Structures are given as structure tokens and as C-alpha cells.
A and B are shown apart, each in its own frame.
Chain A
Amino acid sequence: MVSYNIVTDECQRVLNLVQEELFAIRTDYQHVEDDIEVLRSNVCGGTERIDQTSNQNDLDEALTAYYEEVDTFFEDLRQDLGTVYLAMQDVLNYFVSGDAEMKHRSNSPGVEFPYELATSGEGDPAPAYDTREMWEGNPGTMSFGDGNSTNFDVAQYNHTAAKAAHHG
């Protein structure tokens, strides 16, 4: 009995949209550092009295601390969402390739594959799969938990997705 549905080409279209946004984020963000440097060059007046200089370093250090905090936070968030995106792309690929169904039939002979895969008929967008290097160095783990499928590790997606399909 079929319990679940996946419209594969639409899922891919959505993932491509997500990927475009995650890429474009860098464009807007990259200007921030330049303007932090502008702020740094305006910490004090052109020539200040010696008794004005005591807390110039305070402001300089505060700017550095601010930027480091925001930049680390931004990069972690982007990597985090990138990991989620890649995990979902892996799941989709696993179904589209037929691996999920094959694995299911191998593990559960006689039990109907619980997913119905469909397309919208509006064309098949190419997966944006060659962008993995965007988050290289921070593969992380992603949990798409239903109580049965646990930690989703990018490197082990076959195993985890198969488990999800099996328990579904």
C-alpha cells in the first residue's frame, strides 16, 4: 500500500531555488567586511590630542569583536542550512536513482514500496549537485527524524534513507 508521495521534479526545482538563495547570500554579505574597515578608519579624528587617544583601541577592538561574532555566526548559519540542503538533495537523489526502492525490496521482500514517485510533467530540472564544495569542510550531520530515521549523515545517506523508507 502506497503511503507517501514525492513529486521529484518539483522537489528538485525547490531545492535549486534554495541553492540559488544560499549562493546569493554571499554577494550581499561580502560588502560588510569592507565597510567594517571603513568604520575602523573612522575610529578617531585626523589628529587627536594625546588625551583623546586613550580609548581609540577600545573602539577598534570592539569593532573587531563585533565583526568576528557576526561573521562566525553568519558562516555557521550558512553552513548549517547548506548541510540541510545537501541532505535533502541526497535523499531526493536516493529516491530518483531507484536505490531506495531497490534497497527496500532487498530488505523487505513482498512488502510494497511505500512511496509513490511522480513528476509534474513540466520538465526535469537538473540537480544542483555539483555545488557540494560550497560547504566543503563542514559536512556536519542532519537529522530528518521521524522517530525511526535518526541522524542523517551526508556521507551515509544511503543507509539512513533506506532505514527511513523501510520504517515508513
Chain B
Amino acid sequence: MASVDTVNNLGYRGDGTTDEMYSGSAPMVPNLPNSSFALAAAARINDNLGKTFDRFMAAVDAWNQLRDYYEGPDQEAVYAAFNQRIEKISAIRLAGESLYNAYAINDATLDSDIKGRRDDYIGWAPGHVSASAQYEPYLGKWCRNQYGTADHLWGEMGTPDEDKMRVLEAINALREDRIIKKDEINTLVFDICTHRRTLAQSLKDVDMQELSRIRFETRNEATTTVASQEDVEEMLREAGAFDSLDLRDEEIERIAAEIWANREDYTFGQFTDEQGRDWVMTPEGTMVRAGSAMDPRFNAAAMKAIAEDPVVGQREIDYPGMDNGDRITVAALVYGLNKGNSKFKEWGLKQFKGDDANILGMKVNTGLIGAGITILSIGASADEYKTGQSMLYPMMSDGDLEDRHQHALLVEGAKAGGSVVLGGGLLFVAAAAGAPTGGVGGFIVAAVVDKITGAVVGWIVDTVSDGQTSATQDEINDMSDKELANQ
């Protein structure tokens, strides 16, 4: 580790060699920034900005309770006083994700693009230095054209006539190797610098005003709302998180009736668009329709109703993507009675605090925020991401959950730095230097490359939050119900 101020440039020559650390026979091995250590720090910043966001939202939720106790001519302005600032609040979370994503990409590119090449060089250099030793210092001078002719070189070396051609061939081969490797190392250094420049640019691109333009999710699961008990029943039947509960028709009807009876908890919004539709913020910092499968209050109402059901509440739930054996009854999950279960603890139930557990739904959701963040931000595997999404949005359907999982698999592949054949002569490779990262529209996680020409033909972005599945506030205000449904 070193800061800019403490870097000590030892006596490097112009060709990158140094007498102080090497014989000069091979170019200096470039040091790498400790990108994984930096990534850990970026993760902590992301985590703390996420917690800061949670606190702000908790203040908003508390403020909203004034609806029940303050009635005056200015009451709408009072309620809106906090809510109209949720755009800014969400920017705090997005700023953390932006930083983390930039460092995650930097770490992944160093891992996939740089470290292997550097290791190859380190493997080659000792053999070269060893082979060169018998010809030094003449080889070094020959490389720097200090002799001009082979006769001069042989003369300096005192080479017998019978050995001249053998020595010249050996020296020229070593010189050729050295030239090639020096070019490779120079390219490597250039690429390290490029990746660092990309990282710097990603950070410079973070614009809090831009991030304050909150995103409204337009996917089906975020816009389809329940308008009757039957709608709730339908959603319960489709819900991916509840597959393992084997809900019977009469149980679905009973639970849906309870959820619907508590609809006042989730039918109002934190923001009402110009078409009169209510929206609410998810723990991930995006807006979804009130009463949709992604509304945290609706999900809380559903989990509470299931937990309190005398029969279903005692069944064990096994979230999609979770390993077998990590099962827990719904009641224990909801009321935090099984905090010792490592898997659930890992996912955040450790955040339950004593009696607070009975505020279940919101607590479950806030406790699991980390699990639901975009895959890049949490560094989770695709399966973990699927589980997290399912826990965060238990009313989300199997199909919608699977769509997200498939996307996460693509991102996971890209992060691993491997190339995945997409078909049609295209390759899917880790994000290249210079990729247009940053911005609220999503982050570049990979490039699509033409296998034949090597040309970059497109960029893969983290589409969970990109512009294709979300809209701005202005766009939402202009969008009719029909247009929104067709998104």
C-alpha cells in the first residue's frame, strides 16, 4: 500500500530496469495496487451509506405517522415535507453503490486482465536472468546498441572463433526475448494506468444531482398492483418464496383475506404521480407501485399474515436458491426466533433486536436490505442474489424471480472475467478498460465482442436498475396506465 505521497521511485532507467532491485537483465516487474483491499474498503463505504439511507428512510416512515395524529389546513404540506425529499435520500444509497461498482470493476479487471500477464512475466524473468548471466554485461550493452557490430561484441567478449556464431545466436535470442517482454511489460503498465484512469473517471462521474433523479421500476412485478382479495390470492399462488409452503386453496384464501383486510397499510404511497398512481420506495432505493409485489409494506403484510396463520405459520420456508437444510418456520423467521440459524443470520436477521421483532415485515425487509442489492453491489453469487430478492420481495412470482436470476448469472459470468460464447460469433467478456461506467442508468459489467474481429459491439449493463426497466419521474408522470403496463 502506498499513497501518492509515499511512493518512492527507485533508480529506474528509461527502459524500466533498475540496478537497485534487479541486475537490469529483465524489465522491472510493475507493482499492483491492492485492489482487493481497496474493494473491501469500498464495500464498507457502500454498507455505511446504505445504513445511512436506511436511517433517513426510517425517519421518513416515522414522520408519516403524523398522518394519524395531525390534522390541519397544512397537513398535506406537512406529510410531503419529508416525502418530497426521498429522491435525495435514495441518492445516498446510489452513491455508495456507484463507488463500490467502480472498485468492483477495477478489481475484476486487474484480476482478469492484469494479474495473469504479470504472473506470466514473473515466471519467465528468473530463467531469463539466469540464462543472461553468462553474457553480462555484454548482453545489456548489445541490447543498447553500444557495440555497433558483432565483431566489436566478440572482441569485447574475447570469444574464440569457433564459438562466435553460437554466442551471437544465443545473445540475439536473449535480446529478442527481452525486447518482446519489455514491450509486454510496457503494455501491462499502460493497461494498469488505463484501469486506474477508468476508476478515477467512474468516481468523477458520480453526480449526486443526477442520482437524485429517482428511478421508477417499470417491470411487471413493480407495476402490477392488487385491487381485490382475488388479486392477492393470485399473487400468493405465483409467489416464488412460498413454493416450499405448499399452500392449499383454502389456506391461500384465508391468508389473502387477512392481507386484504390490512390493505390500508400498503395502498397509500410516498409519491403520487400525475396520473394518480401511488408509488413507494423499495429498500433498494427505487420506486415501485404501492400494492405491487415489490412494495415492502405489502410484502410485510403478507409475511405477517402467513406467520400468524396457525397452520401455515408453522411450516418451514425454503427460499429459492438457498441450500437445502437452511429451513425455518415462517413464524420463527418473521418474529426473529431463530436468530442463531447461520444462513439467515448471514442474510441479516441478526439485525433483529429483541422485541423489535414484532414489527416484522418492515424489519424483515430492512434486515435483508443487503441481500437484495444488485449483484454487483453486494458481491453475491447469482444464487445468493436470487435468495436475497426472494426474501426481500416474497410476493414476487417464480417467473419474475427467474428473470432476475438469469440476469444475475450473466453478471456473475462477466465478473468472473471469463469469456462466454453468446452465439453468432459473439463473446461476452469482462468489462474492458474505457468502458463507459457510471451514471444512474446502470453500470457496464461486460463487453460483447465480435469473436472474429475483436471489435466491441456492445456493452452489458446491470439491467436490474438500468434504463430499460425503469423510468424517470417525468416519464412516469406522462405515462398512461396502458403504456406503463406495456413497459
Which residues of A are at the interface with B, using a C-beta cutoff of 8 A?
Answer: 4-7, 10-11, 14, 17-18, 21-22, 24-25, 28-29, 31-32, 35-36, 38-63, 65-66, 69-70, 73-74, 77, 80-81, 84, 87-88, 115, 142-146, 148-149, 164, 167-168
Which residues of B are at the interface with A, using a C-beta cutoff of 8 A?
Answer: 1-4, 7-10, 12, 16, 28, 30-35, 37-38, 41-42, 44-45, 48-49, 51-52, 55-56, 58-59, 62-63, 65-66, 68-74, 76-78, 81-82, 85, 88-89, 91-92, 95, 99, 103, 186, 189, 192-193, 196-197, 199-201, 203-204, 206-208
A-B contact count, CB below 8 Å? 221
Chain B hits for A145, CB < 8 A:
74, 77
CB distance from B107 to the nearest CB of A (A): 11
CB distance from B103 to the nearest CB of A (A): 8
Selected from B2, B77, B208, the residue in CB contact (under 8 A) with A47 is B2
Complex Cα–Cα for A18 and B57 (A): 10
CB distance from A28 to the nearest CB of B (A): 4
A164 x B41 contact (CB < 8 A): no
A42 x B193 contact (CB < 8 A): no
CB distance from B274 to the nearest CB of A (A): 19
Chain A hits for B82, CB < 8 A:
18, 81, 84
Selected from A45, A74, A143, the residue in CB contact (under 8 A) with B33 is A45
A164 x B72 contact (CB < 8 A): yes
Chain A hits for B206, CB < 8 A:
66, 69-70
| Least CB separation from A61: chain B residue | B200
Chain A hits for B76, CB < 8 A:
146
Chain B hits for A55, CB < 8 A:
193, 196-197, 200
Complex Cα–Cα for A164 and B74 (A): 8
Complex Cα–Cα for A6 and B89 (A): 28
B41 x A42 contact (CB < 8 A): yes
Chain B hits for A39, CB < 8 A:
38, 41-42, 45, 103
| Least CB separation from B62: chain A residue | A17
B9 x A6 contact (CB < 8 A): no
A14 x B30 contact (CB < 8 A): no
B77 x A146 contact (CB < 8 A): yes
A48 x B197 contact (CB < 8 A): no
A29 x B48 contact (CB < 8 A): yes
6 nearest A-B residue pairs (beta carbon): A45-B31, A21-B59, A62-B200, A17-B62, A28-B51, A62-B203
Q: Say yes or no: A22-B85 contact (C-beta < 8 A), given A47-B10, A63-B203, A143-B77.
A: no
Selected from B38, B65, B85, the residue in CB contact (under 8 A) with A77 is B85
Complex Cα–Cα for A63 and B199 (A): 10
Complex Cα–Cα for A116 and B208 (A): 43
A58 x B197 contact (CB < 8 A): yes
Q: Say yes or no: A59-B200 contact (C-beta < 8 A), given A10-B69, A21-B62.
A: yes
Complex Cα–Cα for A17 and B68 (A): 15
> Chain A at the B interface: mostly helix, strand, loop or mixed?
helix
Complex Cα–Cα for A142 and B92 (A): 22
Of B62, B69, B89, B189, most A-chain CB atoms within 10 Å: B69
A32 x B59 contact (CB < 8 A): no
| Least CB separation from B54: chain A residue | A28
Chain A hits for B208, CB < 8 A:
69-70, 73
CB distance from B105 to the nearest CB of A (A): 14
B4 x A42 contact (CB < 8 A): no
B30 x A48 contact (CB < 8 A): yes
Chain A hits for B44, CB < 8 A:
31, 35
A53 x B62 contact (CB < 8 A): no
Selected from A42, A88, A164, the residue in CB contact (under 8 A) with B38 is A42
A77 x B73 contact (CB < 8 A): no
Chain B hits for A62, CB < 8 A:
199-201, 203-204
Complex Cα–Cα for A31 and B44 (A): 8
Complex Cα–Cα for A158 and B333 (A): 49
Complex Cα–Cα for A148 and B74 (A): 9
A sample of 9 more A-B contacts (CB under 8 A), given A25-B52, A43-B4, A69-B207, is A18-B63, A44-B196, A46-B1, A49-B9, A56-B7, A62-B200, A70-B208, A73-B91, A81-B85
A142 x B81 contact (CB < 8 A): yes
Complex Cα–Cα for A84 and B81 (A): 7
| Least CB separation from A23: chain B residue | B55
Can you offer 10 A-B residue contacts whose CB atoms are under 8 A?
A17-B59, A25-B59, A32-B52, A59-B200, A60-B4, A70-B92, A73-B91, A81-B56, A115-B72, A168-B72
Complex Cα–Cα for A45 and B325 (A): 44
B45 x A45 contact (CB < 8 A): no
Of B34, B52, B103, most A-chain CB atoms within 10 Å: B52
Chain A hits for B32, CB < 8 A:
45
A146 x B73 contact (CB < 8 A): yes
Complex Cα–Cα for A31 and B96 (A): 13
| Least CB separation from A115: chain B residue | B72
Selected from A41, A54, A142, the residue in CB contact (under 8 A) with B1 is A41
Complex Cα–Cα for A41 and B49 (A): 20
A74 x B189 contact (CB < 8 A): no
Complex Cα–Cα for A58 and B193 (A): 10
